[in-house]
């Protein structure tokens, strides 16, 4: 089964989504003769000894919508997809390594203020209990001391996320012409975890007509592409499947344990019954009561199950070829068991719960971690490593404004005194604007301070903000005296 492992979106692409870099504008006219051009990195000067630094204005969108934890704007309309990064690009993605921000003070680079959430001290997400723990992770490290217990999420089960495994690959990135296959090919190389279709019938079709579905959702116009096409749920974190079929019973037996690799996966023994269908249902329910965490007689969490008549289908959290082992008492019971196996590549949506009862987290459906997860020392990620990554995402990337502050801090880390940098928001308050100056020492520290202290509210006057930026460069707008003539010489 093949899956596109979502690579970390570049910091620049984040910035392009939300900010305006109004530095040096270059107009390139079209020409019948085209060749690579080596653009100058600094303005022309009358003397080669003059060092003229580019003026770069950073404009932050501080509108109220930046507090949202979903993107695009429509990604809030399906609760069952909110935790899936294929649908909501702000959701936790286990293929991405979430890096903490950097800060600058007058003394230089500061890596202690915003630490990786390793759960070892209060500064990195722990309370006073046995460590590591993630019971005091900051909700907004930039503006608030409020914290959350990540281990208590989802009713005490812990953090959860979904991953969509592609069932289709397409000719072009617009995802309009696609086929069902388990891996990319030379013709169909673009994976399609989800698509948007013109009708519900096209969204549900085995093979929709060409151009009936596409990558981009269009809710207005004609035609609209507003019907979601996505693989079905494979089961909570299920990647391998086994079955248990009860064939006969007498003297009201009951299932005592159901073990996989020696670990019991049912919460308690079943009821005593000769009804094979009822017995299958009871075993299913006992497995599912331990899906999110190990309770009562369960040794491990992560398994889930469905039941059809007298057959129980069990989904394992990681690939395995083990054969389930059943013990019973109080009667006679016959059954047939199939070993776990990974089904044919058909794709689907998988849920994973990060729980201390499980200490190996490969990328879902894989046997190893995603290639970008260099924070994990082994071939898979441990519970501590996965929780640290999730806590970093929660603290520093969970909302649009958190993402922008963190990504911007990393993007400007290596920008130095060869630039003059300014800062302003689309609703500039007293502490949300900073004049052009050489990007070093006190000015760089003040720029980071303005970035991190930005608050969000109000509408989104992007055209007005763009106009203001242009007027600042033209020396026709000072924004209450903050921006004098931006020209250095």
Q: What is the pLDDT of residues 451-488, one digit of tens each?
A: 999 999 999 999 999 999 999 999 999 998 999 888 77
Average pLDDT estimate for 350-365: 89
State the average pLDDT over residues 391-419.
97
Determine the pLDDT at residue 29: 28
Residue 78's pLDDT is: 86
Q: Give yes or no for residue 306 having a pLDDT over 80.
A: yes
By C-alpha distance, which of 450, 402, 389 is closest to 144? 402
Confidence class of residue 436 from pLDDT cuts 50, 70 and 90? very high
Could you tell me the pLDDT band of residue 286, with boundaries at 50, 70 and 90? very high
Q: What is the mean pLDDT of residues 304-312?
A: 89
Could you give the C-alpha distances from 441 to 432, 446, 475, in angstroms and in order?
19, 9, 26
Query: What is the rounded distance in angstroms from the CA atom of residue 232 to the CA atom of residue 204?
Result: 11
Least confident of 222-236, 246-260, 278-292: 222-236
**pLDDT confidence bin for 241, thresholds 50/70/90:** confident
Pairing outcome for strands 108-110 and 137-138? unpaired
| Predicted local confidence at residue 483, as pLDDT | 92
Q: List the single range of 70-84, 115-129, 254-268 with lowest mean pLDDT.
A: 70-84
Phi, psi of 129 (to 5 degrees): -70, 180
Q: Could you list the beta-strand ranges (E) of 252-299.
A: 254-260, 263-264
Q: How far apart are CA 317 and CA 365, in angstroms?
A: 9
Mean pLDDT of the chain: 87
Long-range contacts of 110-115 (CB under 8 A, 24+ apart): 114/141, 114/396
Instruction: Say whether pLDDT at 429 is over 90.
Output: no
Banded pLDDT at 379 (limits 50, 70, 90): very high
Per residue in 136-166, pLDDT (tens digit) is 999 999 999 999 999 999 888 899 999 998 8
| Helix, strand, coil % in the chain, rounded to nearest 5 | 20, 25, 55
Confidence of residue 73 (pLDDT cuts 50, 70, 90): very high
Predicted confidence band of residue 182 (pLDDT cuts 50, 70, 90): confident
| pLDDT at residue 20 tops 60 | no
Q: How far apart are the first and last CA of the chain?
A: 61
- Average pLDDT of span 207-232: 92
Residue 293: pLDDT over 90: no
Euclidean distance between CA atoms 465 and 65, whole angstroms = 16
pTM to 2 decimals? 0.74
Instruction: Report the distance separating Cα 54 and Cα 419, nearest Å.
Output: 5
Alpha-carbon gap, residue 69 to 76, rounded angstroms: 9
pLDDT band at 26, cuts 50/70/90?
very low
Q: How far apart are CA 145 and CA 472, in angstroms?
A: 36
Q: Which two tokens stand for residue 470?
A: 């242009």
The yes-or-no verdict on residue 71 having pLDDT over 60 is yes
Which is more confidently placed, 140 or 295? 140
pLDDT: is 33 or 215 the higher one? Answer: 215
Distance between CA 267 and CA 278 in Å, rounded? 17
User: Distance (Å, rounded) from C-alpha 167 to C-alpha 294?
Assistant: 32
Residues of the chain with pLDDT > 90, as a percent, come to 69
Please calculate the CA angle 482-486-489 and round it to the nearest 5 degrees. 140
The pLDDT assigned to 453 comes to 95
pLDDT for the residue numbered 431:
67
Q: Which is more confidently placed, 351 or 152?
A: 152
pLDDT at 11 (0 to 100): 39
Residue 66 pLDDT exceeds 70: yes
The length of the chain in residues reads 489
Using CA atoms in the order 180, 181, 183, 187, what is the torsion angle rounded to 10 degrees?
-70
What angle do the packed helices 400-411 and 11-18 form, to 10 degrees? 120
What does the radius of gyration of the chain's CA atoms come to, in whole angstroms? 28
The sign of the CA dihedral 389, 392, 393, 397 is negative
């Amino acid at each position: 089964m093949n899956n596109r492992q979502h690579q970390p979106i570049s910091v620049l692409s984040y910035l392009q989504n939300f900010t305006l870099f109004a530095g040096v504008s270059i107009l390139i006219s079209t020409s019948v003769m085209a060749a690579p051009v080596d653009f100058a990195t600094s303005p022309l000067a009358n003397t080669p000894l003059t060092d003229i630094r580019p003026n770069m204005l950073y404009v932050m969108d501080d509108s109220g919508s930046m507090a949202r934890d979903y993107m695009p704007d429509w990604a809030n309309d399906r609760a069952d997809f909110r935790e899936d990064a294929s649908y909501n690009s702000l959701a936790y993605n286990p293929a991405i390594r979430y890096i903490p921000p950097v800060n600058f003070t007058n003394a230089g680079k500061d890596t202690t203020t915003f630490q990786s959430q390793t759960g070892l001290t209060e500064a990195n997400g722990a309370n006073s209990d046995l460590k590591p723990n993630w019971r005091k992770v900051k909700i907004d490290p930039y503006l608030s001391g409020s914290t959350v217990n990540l281990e208590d999420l989802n009713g005490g089960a812990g953090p959860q996320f979904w991953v969509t495994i592609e069932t289709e690959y397409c000719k072009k990135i617009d995802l309009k012409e696609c086929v069902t296959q388990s891996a990319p090919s030379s013709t169909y190389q673009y994976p399609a975890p989800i698509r948007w279709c013109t009708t519900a019938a096209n969204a549900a079709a085995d093979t929709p007509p060409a151009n009936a579905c596409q990558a981009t959702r269009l809710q207005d116009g004609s035609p609209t592409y507003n019907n979601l096409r996505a693989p079905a749920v494979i089961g909570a974190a299920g990647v391998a499947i086994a079955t248990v079929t009860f064939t006969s019973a007498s003297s009201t037996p009951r299932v005592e344990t159901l073990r996989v690799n020696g670990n019991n996966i049912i919460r308690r023994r079943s009821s005593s019954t000769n009804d094979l269908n009822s017995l299958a249902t009871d075993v299913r329910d006992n497995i599912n009561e331990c899906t999110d965490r190990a309770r009562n007689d369960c040794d491990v969490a992560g398994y889930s199950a469905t039941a059809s008549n007298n057959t129980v289908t069990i989904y394992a959290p990681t690939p395995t070829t083990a054969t389930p082992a059943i013990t019973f008492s109080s009667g006679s019971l016959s059954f047939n068991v199939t070993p776990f196996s990974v089904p044919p590549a058909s794709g689907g949506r998988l849920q994973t719960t990060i729980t201390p009862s499980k200490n190996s987290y490969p990328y879902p459906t894989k046997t190893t971690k995603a290639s970008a997860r260099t924070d994990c020392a082994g071939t898979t990620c441990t519970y501590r490593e996965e929780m640290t990554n999730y806590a970093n995402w929660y603290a520093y990337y969970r909302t649009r404004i958190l993402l922008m502050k963190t990504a911007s801090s990393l993007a400007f880390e290596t920008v130095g005194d060869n630039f003059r940098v300014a800062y302003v928001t689309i609703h500039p308050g007293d502490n949300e604007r900073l004049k052009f100056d050489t990007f070093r020492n006190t000015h760089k520290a003040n720029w980071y301070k303005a970035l991190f202290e930005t608050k969000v509210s109000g509408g989104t006057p992007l055209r007005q903000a763009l106009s203001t930026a242009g007027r600042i460069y033209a020396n026709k707008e000072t924004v209450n005296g903050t921006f004098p003539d931006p020209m250095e010489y």
